[in-house]
Structure 1
Amino acid sequence: MSKQVVAIYPGTFDPISLGHEDIVLRAAAMFDKVILAVATAHHKKTLFTLDERMDMAREAMAAYPQVEVVPFTGLARDFVRSHNATVMVRGVRTVTDFDYEFQLAGMNRELMPEVETVFLTPSAKYQFISSTFVREISLLGAGDDGQNLVSAGVYERLLAKRAAK
């Protein structure tokens, strides 16, 4: 019996976008199990709490049994090892993303040589989406701005945040 290949896709997912979902589903087609690791984001202020981000990610991934949504804090190395993962998935949209992710992959290889980093580019229709753009467009826009960037459940939560401002 072959060993199950577990991949980790870490990020803050503030909020999870259709671009993130695209990367997760493509990774799920490649690996036996994908863990969407929602980071506590100790290094930046988030729009949504960890619990809110977890709920949105779970809702977005509910139809995919091979995808598990798990919170994490601390070093990705420790999280990856605690879940017996052998792959770390990273989404790259631009050369700037690649430059940063390439450096991070090198550091991760130094810390955990047994884990491979796999770079996935989003489908063309999602290449321009970033959580930063989603937040800005949805919170500062009007009407249905941002609706085509996230799932319906996430969009409703963004509208609630906009109304609360």
Structure 2
Amino acid sequence: MKIAVYPGSFDPVTKGHLDIIERASKLFDHVIVTVMFNQSKSPMFSPDERMDLLKKTTVHLPNVSVDKHMGLLIDYLKVKEARILVKGLRAISDFESEFQMASVNQKLCKEIETVFIMTRTEYMYLSSSIVKEVASFDGDISDFVTEEVKDAIFQKIGG
């Protein structure tokens, strides 16, 4: 069974993330979408809230599960017996940092392969940070996130 892990902060999950998840679900037997903790960020949603939103947005994908992890990603992949790491790329700037991380992961565990999936053109500009910024000014984020995520964001910011 080919198990892939798609890690990220997903704060919040966007339609760009969902696009990568849906496409990965067609390539692998099982995809584990993993909410990671990034200590350098101040998240809008708790890890459990992010997991809940991911579960709601991926309910139509039977071979996708949602989990969370704090720690070294390579250790998580070993525990889950996954050998494939999925990373989404929006632009060349993403590639540089993701390539560096893939090289480190390969050095830490030679069995791990990183698969890059280019985002669709309509999502190349999209990031969770942009979604939060537009929402903070009461902007329309309907094209960026699902309805459930949109409602959760505006509930969180009081809009």
TM class by smaller structure: over 0.9
Assess if the C-alpha contact under 8 Å between 1:139 and 1:158 holds in 2.
no
Matched, 1:78 2:78: no
Residue 139 (structure 1) shift: 1.5
Assess if the C-alpha contact under 8 Å between 1:16 and 1:53 holds in 2.
yes
Assess if the C-alpha contact under 8 Å between 1:89 and 1:118 holds in 2.
yes
Paired with 2:109 and 2:134, the residues of 1 have a C-alpha distance of 38
Q: Percent identity of the aligned residues?
A: 36
Q: 1:27 aligns with which of 20, 24, 27?
A: 24
Assess if the C-alpha contact under 8 Å between 1:86 and 1:115 holds in 2.
yes
Matched, 1:146 2:135: no
Matched, 1:162 2:131: no
Q: Residue 113 of structure 2 aligns with which residue? A: 116
Uncovered stretches (5+) of structure 2, i.e. residues with no partner: none
Assess if the C-alpha contact under 8 Å between 1:38 and 1:53 holds in 2.
yes
Q: Per the alignment, in what secondary structure is the counterpart of residue 45 of structure 1?
A: coil
Residue 141 (structure 1) shift: 3.0
Residue 123 (structure 1) shift: 1.2
Residue 15 (structure 1) shift: 0.2
TM-score (norm 1): 0.93
- Deviation per CA, 1:129-158: give whole Å up to 9, x if none: 10110110112234xx11110010000011
* Structure 1 segment 17-96 matched on structure 2, within 5 A: 17-96=14-93
Residue 40 (structure 1) shift: 2.5
Q: In the comparison of the two structures, how many residue pairs are matched?
A: 159
Paired with 1:140 and 1:161, the residues of 2 have a C-alpha distance of 13
RMSD: 1.0
Paired with 2:39 and 2:53, the residues of 1 have a C-alpha distance of 19
Paired with 1:77 and 1:43, the residues of 2 have a C-alpha distance of 20
Q: Per the alignment, in what secondary structure is the counterpart of residue 63 of structure 1?
A: coil
Identify the range of structure 1 (133-142 vs 96-105) with the bigger mean alpha-carbon deviation: 133-142
Uncovered stretches (5+) of structure 1, i.e. residues with no partner: none
Matching residue's letter, 2:127: S
Residue 102 (structure 1) shift: 0.5
Matching residue's letter, 1:135: K
TM-score (norm 2): 0.96
